[in-house]
Amino acid sequence: MAGDAALAPKARWTLEEAAAAPLEPGRASPSLFRHGQMNLRWYAPRGRDTQTPHEQDEVYLVARGRGRFFVAGLHLPFGPGDLLFVPAGVEHRFEDFTGDFGAWVLFWGPPGGEGAGGEGAGEGALAGEGPPAWRWTLEDARRAPREPDDPLAARLFGHGSMSLWWYAPRERDPQQPHDQDEIYFVAGGRGSLRLDGQRLPVAPWDALFVPAGAEHRFEDFGDDLDLWAVFWGPRGGEGG
C-alpha cells in the first residue's frame, strides 16, 4: 500500500490542508499519506454517512463538529477532540452530525485487522460500551492515570500492535526515539516539533507523523500542549 508519498519530507498536515484535499475517484475521503500499510485520510461527509465496514483497523480523531457515532449497535455522542476506535469489519457510521463535521482517519495493519490479542493489547479491549473500548474524550485522557515512570504520558488502550497514548509535556519534552511508527494528533496548544533536524510548527488539530527510530521532541510549547499518540506496526517500523 506504500505510495509515492511514503517517507516523504512532509510530516505535518494541518486541518486546512486536509479539508482542501481533492477526493479520489469513487472515494468519500481524500488520502493524505501512506506508509507501509498505514493510510492517513480526512473524512467529512455531508448530509448522510453511507460508509460500510472497512477491512483494516482504524481510529478517528474528531477535529470539528458534533453528532452521534454508531458502532457495533451502540450510539455514542461525539464532539471535537474525541478519539474513536473501530476494529476491522465492524459496522459503523456517523449520525445526526453538524454541517461542519470533519475527522482525521488513521488505518493500519493487515486486511481483516490485527485482533485484540497481540503484543500491546490491553485488558478491556473491546470489552463494552464507551471507554475503554470505542470512544475517549479529552476529559477521559486528562484524568487517566499516568505511567509510573513517565508522569507526562498515559496509556489508554491496546489492540494488536496498536497502542493509544495521551501525552502532555510540560516545560520540557524528554522523550527518546520510539521503536514503532506513530502519529500525533494535536488536541490543544502550540509549539514546534523537532524531527530529525527539521523544525515543524505545531497547532491545534495538526496530524504529525514520526517514523520508528526518528529523533524527535516538542519545543517552544506552553502548559496547554495536549496530544493523542497512536503507535502501530512492527518494531523498527514498516518502512515505505
Q: What is the mean pLDDT of residues 141-155?
A: 89
189 and 225: one domain? yes
Residue in 59, 62, 87 with CA at minimum distance from that of residue 77: 62
Burial string for 40-56 (b: 16+ CB within 10 Å, else e) reads bbbbbbeeebeeeebeb
In a domain, 4, yes or no: no
Domain count, the chain: 2
105 and 148: one domain? no
User: Three cell numbers at 57?
Assistant: 483497523
Which alpha helices (H) appear in 35-153, and where do they start and end?
138-143
In a domain, 168, yes or no: yes
210 and 143: one domain? yes
Residue 209 domain boundaries: 138-232
* Cα separation, 6 vs 21, whole angstroms: 17
* Cα separation, 116 vs 29, whole angstroms: 27
What's the pLDDT tens digit per position in 195-208?
A: 988 899 999 999 99
77 and 17: one domain? yes
pTM: 0.88
* pLDDT value, residue 240: 58
155 and 212: one domain? yes
111 and 154: one domain? no
For residue 171, what is the domain's CATH number?
A: 2.60.120.10
Residue 96 burial (CB count, 10 A): 12
193 and 101: one domain? no
Given a contact cutoff of 8 angstroms between Cβ atoms, the answer to whether 34 and 7 are in contact is no
* pLDDT value, residue 122: 35
What's the pLDDT tens digit per position in 52-101?
A: 999 999 999 999 999 999 998 899 999 999 999 999 999 999 999 999 99
148 and 72: one domain? no
Given a contact cutoff of 8 angstroms between Cβ atoms, the answer to whether 213 and 179 are in contact is yes
